[in-house]
Structure 1
Amino acid sequence: MKLSELLQPSAVKVVGKLTSKKRLFQDLGEVAAASYGLDLNGAINSLQERESLGPTGVGHGIALPHARIEGLERVVGAFFKLDTPLDFDAVDRQPVDLIFALFAPAESGVDHLKALALVSRTMRDEKTCTKLRANADAATLHAILTSIPSSKVA
């Protein structure tokens, strides 16, 4: 599995200021609906339901919200770089500015976990995060994320 298989260029955005997680999930749902044909309300509700189980802010300014969606055929993703970090109840109590959301089929056990592990490894790489934070162009962000050799994130 590669990030280029999960992430369409249209699902990468640079976002100014968000006021809440709820607004973030709304925006992520809109991007997922437009890029992958997901049901907007289903995507938003699934993200909020998962987040209610525990925050998906993993520390170092990174959040990995994820949700299972009925009717989805494969795992897909959306990436947001926030100009203004958002309080996310992260494990290290730091606000987040890099958000990689995953949407997986309701019945995808292993594929969902593999995708989450791939994204997690990618976002733990300090050099990758530095490059992402230094760029404000969505096409460049997509290129950074999808050009990482599999061996580097494995």
Structure 2
Amino acid sequence: MRIAEFLSPQAVIADMQSRTKPEVLRELSATLVRAHPLLQEDRLVEVLREREKLGSTGIGEGVAIPHGKLPGMTQLQAAFGVSRAGVDFEAIDGKATHLFFALVAPENSAGVHLKALARISRLFKNPRFRASILEAPTTADIHALIIQEDARP
């Protein structure tokens, strides 16, 4: 599985405006809906909020992977956003979060969902890659960097 299969260029935000955790979830959900009009924004926000209640998806080093499962979806979808200012996302390391990778999977897709989470987590462990994303000026540049890094063996 490659990230290109579930992250479209239209679902990337180069400069998020959100300043709080709920705003981040709303902005990522709105972006997913713009890229995939059959999705419902309020339902997406609720699914992501419910998962956050179990514990923050802020994995540290400036990265968060909010995720959830949504009935009626046929395939995994994602949105990615960069917050230049950083947001308090209650990350495990207590640091501000700048890189947000939201995943929404079909309700009965544990394997795909977990593989995608593991792949994204592995990708964003690389400090040089995180820095290059933060320096990328446009959504097209950000998307290309993610796809290029994910294609490496």
SS of structure 1 residue aligned to 2:124: helix
Give the residue type in structure 1 aligned to 2:125: R
Q: Name 2:63's counterpart in structure 1.
A: 62
CA distance in 2, matches of 1:111, 1:86: 28
Unpaired runs of at least 5, structure 2: none
CA contact (8 A) 2:30 2:41 kept: yes
The normalised TM-score by structure 2 is 0.94
Cα offset for 1:150? 3.9
1:149 shift after superposition: 4.7
Q: CA RMSD in A?
A: 1.2
Within 5 Å, which residues of 2 pair with 1:116-127?
116-127=117-128
| Shift in Å, 1:19 | 2.3
Q: Does 1:142 align with 2:143?
A: yes
> 1 or 2, which has the higher strand percentage?
1
Q: Distance in 2 between matches of 1:131 and 1:28?
A: 21
Mapped partners of 2:6, 2:125: distance in 1:
18
Contact 2:16–2:81, Cα closer than 8 Å, also in 1: no
Aligned residues: 152
TM-aligned CA deviation for residue 20 of structure 1: 1.1
Give a deviation string over 1:77-132, Cα, whole Å, max 9, x none. 11001111000110000010011111101111100001111111111112211110
Structure 1-normalised TM-score? 0.94
Equivalent in the alignment of 1:35: 35
Q: Which runs of 5+ in 1 are unaligned?
A: none
Q: Within 1, Cα distance between the matches of 2:150 and 2:88?
A: 31
Identity fraction in percent: 31
